Structure 1
């Protein structure tokens, strides 16, 4: 069944991790202001109580069918380059469920943005990771962060070296608990000012460089399809590294947008082993295997690689088609050939010139983030669409992922309440909790004399609104309940407003 679950206006949501908001560098700082009241004031309505200040964007669910893989969706909405700012909604890292309801939101601050937001594994435990920093001409300067299940930051990873900072395109934690991190470095190729790609593997605990590769060590600027001067008049971004992953032999697979190619790099020595695609490919490209402006090259094992083929690039750049796709190709290194195994386009034939990714889910489904379109989708292995959603106009997300996640924020839920006739209008939030399914209010004449009031209210979004009998209540608290009715946590008691 196809359903449209477009929420009206903004979804009122809970506070940032552990009940707090995030500062520019990933630190947490208390910010107990009220978004519901602000929204009401902007519309001319009387202010209502709110337990949160956050204003995350709301995705429109266009398709939702059975057989979807379990899990939550990880996106990082940001303003599309050139689009007008949306004064009502914030942008940032966001975890939503398949109905579009927000479970966790961490807003961007100032000119900084979150990118490549996803779940990974570190030291055998699930974590969430994201890059945070500033963007410029399709590259970024920032840091990568690792958060545990309570949303506490447990590690920060930075690029190391002169004139380089961590770029946003890819931050991968390996099975060895090291980090693969790309960056951009201005240098010269002969007398020509260029920007080369630098791929580093770093020890996460010490931030020490373990391996390093530079694109100029084997890939000349003449391999580029990018028009010179397209991004900068002072230096030529000829390579544009945008992903790195370990192959099943332990070596590194690197993707470069501007050379239309992926590369295998020997992990220990930095030797370029082979090049797939682009000019002078080491493999004979079979029918349907040529790709352009690609992103997110991921080894699936056994010589199979999954690639997001953007097909088209920036305005005025050469193109190979009119619909982006996720392709799976099979390499035969001995024969020097490559063949197409599968391809997945969006039914609307979306063409996204930048960004995007494809993720293989545990049940075999394919989850796709369609880059600048702001669309993200799920497909069966046979190509049937099961899920399709879109961010509000003017916003996109660099990538989109789907993963099982259990968030257990260390802070307490928050509550606000207002008397309205014989009822209390209650607002409850607990940002980051994936386990709360119902709320129960406790009211009383003082903060120490509270009792359960009314029934259990179903969780409807990160901030849930419900009402209970007012009686003579002057204080209110809320209990967060799991699916078995167990109390997960209780908020502090707050005075009822009038």
Structure 2
């Protein structure tokens, strides 16, 4: 049974590129104007949704579909990024401007990664690149250019980036039945200045072994683990949140959040297991194997804590995966459930990954990505599902997190155009990867690539990612194709007719 569990961990929990499932049944887009074959996003709406685009980073499908992807909530592709394994693709705010951020790098089969965080402006120009260097040890012994882990890349209000990292460390594991000189993964987090890449804060779980004893980990140590190549992952940090006088972290393998003071001290533990930690929790606040702990409305007396409650891991189906919003009473050390989100018509058991996103405090809509299950859902203020979208066969495709964000972008690059000529007519196919602000295309004749003397032929409404227009009675050797918002031109390109 243990060997079966380990196999499930390396294939299901992570769904890395090293263990790609052949997802032959799911439909993929075929485009003429771009070398993309992203998965079709199948969308079902059952109510009024909040505005925004869907941001995902699928893994497990064919390599050409592995990239940071944006769709509208009708399922139309809006943007495909470079073909890199990505995570945490979303809109954040840096130096008072909206940007898109994502982690890209190498995902290890052990359930963490090494990579870089990319920050792009609204033209998709990279304006900051955040890396983490240092004396890290990897399971394969190879050095990396950057050691930022895939689990977290969260921008703070002080224009810093919170990231996680994993370091192979030789340690005495006799308290949990291991050897005196075995190997485990230390869970670390860093706060990095975005403009300078300077580390402004760092914290190591192993440096606080007295406050977070190894014996409290829910992750068993078995024979296959404890070596340099297969270190034991006792902690598994997967989110970091900046709060007053410190940080809130999530340790998945402890079923807990911890408040870390700026001096490094562990101030309290909020466990999802009744009778454990420093808080009394109600029956609906029970959680396990969680991800994406976020804090809002913090005061001296309390806070609201949102989290994605996996409640499962491979070969262990405990309960349906839920999204939880908890009122945390810091004075009386009590936790009361405010919301528990679950689609009773589509019960999901997400064995890993996932997130909970409060989209707006005005509408109280929540967007949830189900991580290892290839679905995202939007819930309204009454906890009703108003949108479900799927991007791959269940069990074959994952997205570490998924978000719904408002976003406006006008790419630095020009539109792409393909002309299919047929005697005296042609079909003009047009797309503009990543553009959100245009709504129609105008086509003009042009006598040369440098021509400024153009004659209007036709205009067509934007339809999805790629729009087609039929043109007849061709008399000029070139077309000028213009992406417009109403009658306002945003970008144009001149292409030959044949």
* TM-score, structure 1 as length reference: 0.84
Question: Which deviates further from its counterpart, 450-459 or 426-435?
Answer: 450-459
Structure 2 segments unaligned to the other structure (5+ residues): 1-25, 138-146, 173-179
| Matching of residues 146-165 of structure 1 within 5 Å | 146-163=119-136, 165=147
Q: Distance in 2 between matches of 1:467 and 1:452?
A: 16
| Matching of residues 87-102 of structure 1 within 5 Å | 89-102=64-77
Residues 454 and 469 in structure 1, CA contact (< 8 A), matched pair in contact too: no
State the 1:189 CA deviation: 3.4
Q: Distance in 1 between matches of 2:388 and 2:455?
A: 40
Q: Distance in 2 between matches of 1:99 and 1:240?
A: 36
Closer, same or farther: CA 284–479 of 1 in aligned 2, 3 Å: same
Provide the residue aligned with 2:29 in structure 1. 11
What are the Cα deviations for residues 39-82 of structure 1, in whole angstroms up to 9, with x where unaligned?
Answer: xxxxxxxxxxx33222222110122532x111111111111xxx
What are the Cα deviations for residues 457-488 of structure 1, in whole angstroms up to 9, with x where unaligned?
Answer: 11112222221224223212210011x32111
Provide the residue aligned with 2:412 in structure 1. 410
Q: Distance in 1 between matches of 2:223 and 2:281?
A: 28
Which of 81, 84, 87 aligns to 1:106? It is 81
Residues 231 and 237 in structure 1, CA contact (< 8 A), matched pair in contact too: no
1:201 and 2:191 aligned = yes
Closer, same or farther: CA 455–78 of 1 in aligned 2, 3 Å: same
Provide the residue aligned with 1:228 in structure 2. 221
Residues 376 and 388 in structure 2, CA contact (< 8 A), matched pair in contact too: yes
State the 1:205 CA deviation: 1.6
Provide the residue aligned with 2:313 in structure 1. 313
Provide the residue aligned with 1:350 in structure 2. 348
What are the Cα deviations for residues 290-328 of structure 1, in whole angstroms up to 9, with x where unaligned?
Answer: 21100000002242100110000122x5x5x33100011
Residues 117 and 131 in structure 2, CA contact (< 8 A), matched pair in contact too: yes
1:179 and 2:161 aligned = yes
Q: Distance in 2 between matches of 1:72 and 1:197?
A: 33
State the 1:346 CA deviation: 2.5
1:334 and 2:324 aligned = no
Provide the residue aligned with 1:144 in structure 2. 117
Provide the residue aligned with 1:72 in structure 2. 53
Question: Which deviates further from its counterpart, 135-144 or 185-194?
Answer: 185-194
Provide the residue aligned with 1:364 in structure 2. 364
1:133 and 2:128 aligned = no
Q: Secondary structure at the match of 1:397?
A: strand
Q: Distance in 1 between matches of 2:54 and 2:112?
A: 24
Provide the residue aligned with 2:482 in structure 1. 479
Q: Secondary structure at the match of 1:288?
A: helix
Which of 280, 284, 301 aligns to 1:288? It is 284
Structure 1 segments unaligned to the other structure (5+ residues): 1-7, 13-35, 37-49, 80-84
Q: Distance in 1 between matches of 2:224 and 2:203?
A: 23
Which of 203, 211, 223 aligns to 1:213? It is 203
Number of matched pairs: 437
Q: Distance in 2 between matches of 1:278 and 1:389?
A: 29
Q: Secondary structure at the match of 2:215?
A: helix
State the 1:445 CA deviation: 4.3
Q: Secondary structure at the match of 2:372?
A: helix
Question: Which deviates further from its counterpart, 333-342 or 166-175?
Answer: 333-342
State the 1:397 CA deviation: 1.1
Closer, same or farther: CA 287–310 of 1 in aligned 2, 3 Å: same
State the 1:129 CA deviation: 0.4
RMSD value, Cα: 2.0
Q: Distance in 2 between matches of 1:351 and 1:155?
A: 37
Q: Distance in 2 between matches of 1:381 and 1:213?
A: 37
